[in-house]
Structure 1
Amino acid sequence: MNAQALRIAVIAVLAAAPLCMAGAANLLQFQPVATGLDRLTTITATPFYPDKVWVAEQSGRVRLVENGVLRATPFLDITDRTRSVGFEQGLTGFALAPAFPANPYVYLHYIRSDDSSRIARFRLLPGPVLAADPASETELLTLSEPHPTHNCNEVRFGPDGFLYIGCGDGGPPFTPVHDPQSLAELYGKILRIDVNNVPSGQPYGIPADNPFLATMGARPEIWALGLRNPYRFSFDALTGDLWVSDVGQSLWEEVSLVPAATPAGVNFGWNRMEGTHCYPNAGCDSSGLWLPLIEYSHNDGCAVIGGLRLRNTVLSQLEGSYVYADFCSNRVFAASSADELVWDVAQVGALPRNPTAFGQTAQGELWVGSYGVNDAVLYRAVVVDAIFSDGFQASPGQF
């Protein structure tokens, strides 16, 4: 039995739209932590600084929230080189190096003034003030972008210590210039690079077990393919499983779960499939493709905002749940499973503004960022209904 057939045998694909438990939609309320921000894109924390949370703004700043208060001076400001005029342009990815701050680097994705996608590294400034040096930029990877949509976005370190980069198909919608199925291109892929063991004269190394090293003509950075716009992905802090949300084209939004033991080289199917459906017409061959765990139609939203699987969270009712949202409906969902085989989905809240990013603090709080040009809000999720003090269970969704 191949990997995809095994996956279908043990994991049920569910629709996110049906709400199957009375009152579940009111489990969470969202309290403002900071206001007056600019289009929040990333929320990051580390146990080394339990009182601090890093928040990235699309305009090109990374801000620090210290003991629940937004610090006036940015942690990093690269607005002088960031282009953020488009809806999807700007600083859209931020990650702390593993073992930060002993490893004194941070990694970003942003759109440069020439409209290209850049992955770059910055070093901490010396001295008592926690801040990164904007003059310390080291370019790792730059991709020209044919359109101001479906750029690279998320950057995250995996449990293996390698840097993973989510890159969209480059756009434009419906007729992308680049082929997300082509191994000769980095567009429509998740990339995996080594930023710690770097060969002389190279910006980064290539992990020895990247899946296409022996494939003639393939880019060695590719770890997975077949994605349209993987705006957000995250790793399960307990298991190392990968959760990928891919923003859909015409009809379907999707979230995929890739267990940590899965061989690298997963093909998520775009642009042969949109969700579990052939694109644009019926009758495609789905063999060898990795189908999503969750999907919902554009009758229920417009763009999935991937979140994270909650571990050691203060929201005990959602411990072990994967939390995500939709940008247009503002609804927040939780996918839960008692056995890792069958997953249930329920709406657990609705944000006052369009969601753009999720993060968990060192204390286990769930924070959510919103859209808004200079009036974005950073929220803290809290449980408000005592009826859920014993936890919740939603019924399985169906197509």
Structure 2
Amino acid sequence: MKTPPTALFWLPVLTLAALLAQPSIYAAIPEIGSTLPVPEQPEIPPPQIPEEPLGGILLRKLAFDREFDSPVALASVPDASGEQVIAMQRGEFCAVRLDGSGQWRPFLDFREKMKGVVLFEEGVHGIAFHPRFAENRLFYLSYSQNNPRRTVISEMRASNAKDSTPDALPHTERVLLEIPQPLADHWGGHILFGPDGCLYIALGDGGLRNDPYRQAQNPWGLHGKILRIDVDGRSGALPYAIPADNPFTQVQTVRQEIYALGFRNPWGLSFDARTGQLWCADVGQDLWEEINRVESGANYGWSERDGPTKSSFHTHSFLPETNTTDPVHAYTRMRGEGICIVGGLLYRGQKLPQLYGEFVFADWGYGTVWALGMDPTSGQAVKRHVVHRKEPEHKFNPTLVTVDVDGEPVLLSQEGSLYRLEKDED
């Protein structure tokens, strides 16, 4: 995710060089060495859809006897244990129960591997368990490394199925994919398995303001894309297989791992538990934060488009006759709505019927939680419900909106806490 101005006061690990690498700190500061003028602030557009509060739901902090060091991902263990594993940015992984008991235990300690990986977006980005974990004990990690700077996607095993509380076995790690990274931001890195059994990987554009090298639109690069791979097979010398129905398998000029393209910094992939539809929240630059319904082979526009509008910094398409797909919804900092979107899930649980069929998401900087109401016939967003607004004294910076083992919403917050959305009984 990106660094808003408030982060300048509480992120001592950031160096000046790292701050200047962040494109979203101040819209009025051009990239170092740039001779381009700062574009004028565009006219503030009217709201896309009406907004209104949604009552009857509260945000409740879960009780644990510890804080979790910058939690970034939560994955359910697909066995009978009822555990979920929290991935923390600096390399610690804990297995927890979100049943109110406050139970947690160590699962994997990657902190030694993460030494020196200290900048704001560096570190662990995701964890996903194989759908047949109960049989094969496999799970998958997404994290960053330096020297050279790169994203690593790897496979690891956990201890024997007879162990009711499995632990990770670090010596079994097998690297599947390494993607060189130009800068220490716009990593993306969220991973999850789809209902088709394939592993989906979200990657950011690699950094720099305005995506000057057009990485998100370059069909021969993996940056700014959502990838789809088959971890159970092999294609040639690759340590994974390319699914035969990936959209570009017959196109020699496009990397075959690519499922969709045109993303800036996708953070928060999720599948609709009822329809299998893939959703993605994409963190914007200066103006827009967006939610996308992701289809195979679709192009979501960055950096030729910025949210629902044409970008001001690229006057022509990277490739001729490029067709792009607009976001389902976008909100803007021009109206003071937020500065960094956090995905996100289409709610299909049972405890909060007023949320059913709505896309629940949040803003990291403002601590606001929304639910996007959709027309069931057209699939278009028609209303934005405010589920929670942060009080000024509340240290709540959501890093992910996800679900527990029963499909009920859970939010991770950067200060080290976990929260639930629950029915307000008052």
Give the TM-score normalised by structure 2: 0.79
- Work out whether 1:288 is the aligned partner of 2:323: yes
Name which of 285, 293, 297 aligns with 1:257: 293
| 1:297 matched residue in structure 2 | 332
Could you tell me which residue of structure 1 aligns to residue 405 of structure 2?
362
What is the distance in 2 between the residues matched to 1:218 and 1:209?
14
Match of 1:322 in 2: 359
Write the letter of the residue equivalent to 1:198: R
Q: For the residues of structure 1 that align with 2:276 and 2:189, how far apart are their CA atoms?
A: 20
| Stretch deviating more after TM superposition (114-123 or 71-80) | 71-80
SS of the aligned residue for 2:171 comes to helix
Amino acid at match of 2:311: Y
- The 1:70/1:91 distance shift into structure 2, 3 A limit, reads farther
Q: Is the 8 A contact 1:189 1:223 kept in 2?
A: yes
Q: Would you say the 8 A contact 1:16–1:333 is kept in 2?
A: no
Is residue 289–residue 331 contact of structure 2 (8 Å, CA) maintained in 1?
Answer: yes
1:216 alignment partner AA: Q
SS at structure 2 position matched to 1:33 = coil
Q: 1:181 to 1:283 in 2, by over 3 A?
A: closer
Matched, 1:377 2:409: no
Partner Cα distance (1:54, 1:192) in 2: 23
1:123 aligned partner, one-letter code: R
> Which residue does the alignment assign to 2:310?
278
- Partner SS state of residue 133, structure 1: strand
Asked if 1:124 is matched to 2:146, the reply is no
- For 2:61, the equivalent position in structure 1 comes to 31
Alignment match of 2:90 (pick from 35, 40, 59): 59
- The question of whether the paired residues in 1 share the 8 Å contact of 2:303 and 2:314 is answered with no
Q: Structure 1 residues 123 and 212, CA, compared in 2 at 3 Å: closer, same or farther?
A: same
Residue 312 of structure 1: aligned partner = 349
Contact 2:269 2:279 in 1 (8 A): yes
Residue 391 of structure 1 is matched in structure 2 by none
Q: Secondary structure at the match of 2:266?
A: coil
Q: CA deviation at 1:358?
A: 1.9
Q: 1:254 to 1:180 in 2, by over 3 A?
A: same
Query: AA paired with 2:338?
Result: G
Q: What is the alpha-carbon distance in structure 1 between the residues aligned to residue 170 and residue 322 of structure 2?
A: 47
C-alpha distance in 2, partners of 1:290/1:75? 40
Deviates more, 1:327-336 or 1:42-51: 42-51
Given that 1:178 and 1:185 are in contact with CA atoms closer than 8 Å, whether structure 2 keeps it comes out as no
1:87 offset after TM fit, Å? 1.1
Which of 340, 347, 350 lines up with 2:389 in the alignment?
350
Which digits, 9 at most, give the CA deviation of each residue in 1:7-33, with x for residues without a partner?
A: xxxxxxx95785324xx2673222233
* Structure 2 residue corresponding to 1:48, chosen from 79, 103, 115: 79
The structure-2 alpha-carbon separation of the partners of 1:50 and 1:308, relative to structure 1 and needing over 3 Å to count, comes to farther
Higher relative contact order (Cα pairs below 8 Å, separated by 6+ residues): 1
1:196-275 counterparts in 2 under 5 A?
A: 196-199=232-235, 201-258=237-294, 262=295, 264-275=296-307
Q: Are the counterparts in 2 of residues 233 and 245 from structure 1 also a CA contact under 8 Å?
A: yes
Moved more, 79-88 or 62-71: 62-71
CA contact (8 A) 2:78 2:132 kept: no
Q: Using the TM superposition, give the Cα deviation of residue 216 of structure 1 relative to its aligned residue in structure 2, in angstroms.
A: 2.5
Paired residues of 1:246 and 1:254 also in contact (CA < 8 A):
yes
Q: Residue 79 of structure 1: which of 108, 111, 118 is its match?
A: 111
Q: Work out the CA distance in 2 between the residues paired with 1:106 and 1:123.
A: 6
Partner Cα distance (2:398, 2:72) in 1: 9
CA distance in 1, matches of 2:264, 2:324: 14
Report the CA distance shift for 1:234/1:72 in structure 2 as closer, same or farther (over 3 A): closer
Are residues 52 and 88 of structure 1, via their aligned partners in 2, closer, same or farther at CA, if it must alter by over 3 Å? Answer: same
Distance between the aligned counterparts of 1:71 and 1:32, measured in 2?
11
2:166 counterpart SS class: coil
User: Percent of aligned positions with the same letter in both sequences?
Assistant: 34
Contact 2:351 2:423 in 1 (8 A): no
Instruction: Measure how far apart 1:178 and its partner are.
Output: 5.4
1:354 and 1:315 map into 2 onto residues whose CA distance is 23
Match of 1:20 in 2: 52
Equivalenced residues, count = 364
Unpaired runs of 5+ residues, structure 1, are 1-13, 387-399
Give the Cα separation in 1 of the matches to 2:371 and 2:74.
19
| Contact kept? 1:15, 1:294, Cα under 8 Å | no
Distance 1:339 1:177, change over 3 A: same
1:180 matches 2:213: no
State the distance in 2 between where 1:212 and 1:281 align: 28
Q: Does 1:134 align with 2:170?
A: yes
When the two structures are superposed, what TM-score results if normalisation uses the length of structure 1?
0.85
Structure 1: 4+ residue segments shifted above 6 A: 282-287
1-side partners of 2:309 and 2:235: how far apart?
Answer: 43
Letter in 2 for 1:145: Q
CA RMSD of aligned residues (A): 2.4
What is the rounded CA distance, in whole Å, between the counterparts of 2:137 and 2:377 in structure 1? 37
**CA shift for structure 1 position 284:** 6.6
Distance 1:71-1:134 versus aligned 2 partners, 3 A rule: farther
- Check the 8 A contact 1:16/1:346 in 2, yes or no: no
Cα deviation digits, residues 240-285 of structure 1 (max 9, x gap): 1111111001100000113xxx5x2100000000111111269877
- Counterpart of 1:61, as a letter, is E
Residue 159 of structure 1 deviates from its aligned partner by: 1.3
